[in-house]
A and B are shown apart, each in its own frame.
Chain A
Amino acid sequence: MLHIVLALFIFQPIQVEEYTLGNGLKLLVYEDHFAPVVSVQVHYRVGSYNESVGLTGISHLLEHMAFKGTAAHGPHEYSRLIEGAGGIENAYTSVNRTVYHAHLGSDRYELELELEADRMQNLLIAGEEYTSEKQVVMEERRLRENDPYYMIFEQLDLIGFSYHPHRRPIIGFMADIERISRDDVYKWYRHYYNPGNAVIVIAGDVRPQQAYDLVKRYFGALEGHKVEDVEFDEPPQKGERRFEYRREVQMPALAIQYHTVTVSHEDVSALDVLAMILSYGMSSRFEQNLVRDKGLATAANVYHVNYKYGGNFIIFGVPQTEITLAALENAIYSAIDSLKTIPVLDAELEKAKNQALASAVYQQDSPSGIGMRLGSWEIEAGGWEKLNQYFEEIQKVSKEDIIRVAQTYLTKNNRTVGYLLPEEEN
C-alpha cells in the first residue's frame, strides 16, 4: 500500500498536446520551459520492417540521401543552416521508423520545420551524389562487420527468425546496398515520405498553439496518405536453434534470444520487470551471481526489446578468462529456471518497480529524450499515451506474473543461441 501511495506521489504522467492536420500529419508537443531549447523531430513510419529481400537497407540509404539536397538547398546545405543557427542535427533509421531531428534554441526552431517540409517533398537524390554516398554506406556496413558483437546479433536475428522481416539488418546486406539503384531509393522516398505517414514531435521550450501554427504553415498544404504495413506472422519456433560464429577474437561471447511479444502486448511489463531483476543495476541477480560471486562473466546483460510487430528477450554474456561458454550458458539457464518455480523476493519486485518509477522521473530531464520516446510509442504502440500506461502497468506486476511469463516465453524450444568463438584450424 505504501508503495502504491509513493508511486502516485512520484509518478507524474507525461502531458502532451496532440494535433492531427487534415493531411494526416500527427503533431505531438511536449512543453518544458526549464531551458531555452527545443527538439524538433520528424518520425516517418518506415524502416527495415518494410523492406523485402533485395532491398535491405533501402530506408537507411534514403536517410543518407536526405542530406544530399533539394532544388532549394544543395547537398549538406541543411546541416550548414542548422549549425549556422547554433543547432545540432542528425538522423537514424530503425525497424519501424526513420527519424530526422534537430536541437536548437527556442527562438529559431521554425528553421528546422521549414527545412523538414522541404525534405519531405523535394529531395533530388541526384545520381552523382548517390554513387558517392553509397560508398559511405558500404563503409558503414564494413564497420559493423568488423565489430564481432554486432555480427553475432545480426546472425541471431537471421537464425532466430525464418520468415519475419525482423530477421533482416537495418543497415542491409552488402550485396543489396551495392545493387539498390538511385531510382529504387527515389521510389521508396515517394512512397513513404508524406505528411500522412509521419509524426512530428516538438519538445522543450515551446508553446503548443505556436508550434501547431508553424507546423500547419509549412506542412498543411502538402498532400498526405498513410502507407499501410503488411503484417507477417513468424511461425512458432518449435525447437532450440544454435549456431557458431567464428572470427579472430581473444574472448568468446554468447547471445541468447527468446521470441516474446509486441510492444502493445499485456505481458511486456512483466517481462520488463523480469529483465530488471536479472540484470538491471549492480545489485541484480546476474551482476551479483554470475559476475561477482561466481566469477563466470565479465558482462551478462538482458535486453527486452519490443516493436510494433514482435519482440525479443535477449541475453548477452562475455565469460571471464578460463570460463567456458557452456558453463556460463548453463548458469544463465539456472537463473532463468529458478524464476519459473520460485517466486521473486518482495524486495526484488519492489526494487524493480522503484527503478521503473525513478526512470520515469529521470527521463523528464531531457525533452529531446522524451520526444524520441513519444515518437516511438506513437508509431510502435499506436499512441504516445501508452507510455504513461506502461509505467502504471509496471506497478501492477505480481510475483505470479513473473513466474507465468518466465514459463511461457523463456523456454528451450523458443530460444536461439549463438556462440562467438575464435577461429580454429579446419
Chain B
Amino acid sequence: MKVLLRLLLPILCWGLSIERDTLDNGMVVLTVEAHRIPVVEVKALVRAGSVYDPAGKEGLANVVSNMLLRGTQTRSAYEIVESIESVGGALAPFANTDNAGLNGKVLSKDLVLLLDLLNDCLRNPMFDELEFTRLKGELVSGIRAEADDPFEFSKKAFRRLVFGVHPLAHYPEGYDSTVTALNTADARQFHDSYYVPNNVFFIFVGDFEKDSLLKMLGNRFGDWQRNEMDVVEIVEPKVRTKPLGRIVPMDISQSYIVLGNPGPKYGADDWLPTRVMNYILGTSSVSRIYTEVRAERGLAYVAYSHFVRSIHGGYFAAEVQTMKERTSEAVQTLLEVLYHTQDTIYTDELERAKQFYTGYFPLTYDSYGEMANLVAHIEFENLGLDYIEKFDVSVAQLSLADLQAAARRHLHPESYHLLILGDIKPEDVAVDGIEWVD
C-alpha cells in the first residue's frame, strides 16, 4: 500500500492530533490516537446519503446502508452481527443527508475483527431478495409508526414544505410508498455507483497505533479499485417572496409549530457569525426565543431555533409546541423575535455569546464518539487545518455588524414557511399575507 498524502490536521487542545492519510485508491483515513480506554470508535462514511436518492426512490440510500449488514458472499446476516456482538462490539448502519455507511465500536483487542467486517460489508453486500423484502417490511412499518409521533412528523412535514420537489425535501428513511417500491436492482445499482474507495472516508478514534492501522487497512482495502462516479447536480432550493403555510390536521391538544426558511449549506463563508447569532436567537438557555416564548409568556416547554445544514443545502427552523388556543400568539411572537433580531443585536448579548463559545468548545469533544463527530464535521465542512486553534480567535473577532448581516441574510420573517401540526384551522392563525397549501 502506498500512502499518497499525509496531512497533520488540527491539534486538539489536550495533546491529541487529527491526521489525514489518503490511500492510493483514494480512500481517506482520518485518525485520532487516544488512550483513555482500550476502545476504538470507527465511522465508515460514504458520500452516498439521501440527497443522492433518485426521484421516486426516496429511502434508497438508507436501504442500501442497512443491506450492508444483511449478508455478503461469505457471511450471512446473522453471522455478521453475531460475530461483532459476541465480543461486546457494535456495528450499525446509518444514513444522513450527505453520507451513509457504518458506525462501529470495539474493545481495541478486537479491532482486526471489525476491520474484516467493514471490508466485507462495505464491498460485498449480497442484496439477497429475501433479506431485502424483510428489511423493507421493517422499515416501512417503522416509517408508519413514526408518523404517529407529532414531534417527528412535524419536522418532516416542514422539510417537505420548505424544499418541495427537491432532493433535500425528504428524510433519509424516505416514504412508505417509495421504500415499498424499491427492488434489489435499485440497491445494487446505487451501491455500484457510490460505494467506491475514492468516495469513502474512514474515521478512527481511540486506542490503536496509526502506522499499524494503516497497514491493516492497506492489506484489506488496497485492492479495491477506484472508479469514477456520476456527478449529480443538486440545484439551490428556490427562495420565496411571501409566506407559505400548511396545516397538518391531528387530533391533539397542542399545535406543533415549525417556522423557518431555506438556509446556508456547509462551507458558507458567514457560518460562524450565523451560528453565534443563532445562539443568541434560539439555542442559549436564555435565548430570545426561550425568553419570549417560554420564560415571559409561558407558551411552551420546548422553544428553540436551529440551522440544519449539509453539503448541498440547509434550512433554518424555529420550533415551538403550544396549547392550540395560543397558536396565533406563539407564531406572532416568533415572527416578532425574528424581525427584532434582524434589526438589533445588543453588545452584551454578543459578549456573553463570545464568553460561552470560547469556554464551551472543549466540551464538544471530550469522548471518542464526540471526537469522531468533530473530525467528520471538519472534513466535510472543509473547515481547514487550523480550525480548532483558530476558533477562539475567530469568535473573539466577531462584531455586531457580522451578526446583524448574518441575521438579515439567513432569517426571512417576510417570506417564511410555516408548518403547523394539530387541531387548528388557517383562520385561527392571525398572520398577514400568507398563502396556505394543503
Contact = CB atoms under 8 A, between A and B. Distances in A.
Interface stretch (B43-51, B80-88, B211-219, B238-246): B80-88
A250 B144 CA distance: 7
Greatest chain B CB density within 10 A among A132, A137, A139 is at A139
B18 to A, nearest CB: 15
Contacts of B88: 351, 354-359
A153 to B, nearest CB: 14
Contacts, number: 199
B367 A366 contact: yes
Say whether chain B's binding surface is mostly helix, strand, loop, or mixed.
Answer: mixed
Contact of B148 (A86, A105, A250, A347): A250
B157 interface: no
A136 B323 CA distance: 10
Contacts of A143: 151, 254, 301-302, 321
A249 B148 contact: yes
A253 B85 contact: no
B145 A250 contact: yes
A298 B138 contact: yes
Interface residues on A, range: 35 or more
Interface in B273-323: 284-286, 291, 294-302, 321-323
B426 interface: no
Contacts of B56: none
B362 A365 contact: no
A253 B36 contact: no
A364 B151 CA distance: 32
Nearest to B355: A84
B86 A105 contact: no
Interface residues of B, number: 72
A362 B301 contact: no
B368 interface: yes
Nearest to A133: B298
A146 B323 CA distance: 11
B77 A358 contact: no
Interface in A79-98: 79-80, 83-90
B433 interface: no
B254 A282 contact: no
Contacts of B295: 75-76, 132
A181 interface: no
B212 to A, nearest CB: 21
Contacts of B89: 358
Contact of B368 (A85, A354, A365): A365
B191 interface: no
B105 to A, nearest CB: 7
B437 interface: no
Contact of A358 (B107, B147, B321): B107
Contacts of B10: none
Interface in B237-281: 250-254
A289 to B, nearest CB: 11
Contact of A320 (B14, B138, B323, B369): B138
Contact of B355 (A85, A149, A295, A366): A85
17 contacts: A10-B107, A34-B36, A34-B366, A76-B286, A88-B363, A136-B294, A139-B298, A140-B301, A146-B321, A147-B150, A248-B250, A281-B81, A281-B85, A298-B138, A358-B87, A364-B36, A365-B367
Closest 7 A/B residue pairs (Cβ): A86-B359, A358-B88, A135-B298, A140-B301, A298-B141, A35-B366, A354-B88
Given A90-B285, A361-B107, 14 more contacts: A83-B286, A83-B356, A139-B300, A146-B321, A147-B149, A148-B148, A148-B149, A283-B81, A283-B85, A320-B141, A354-B87, A356-B88, A358-B106, A365-B368
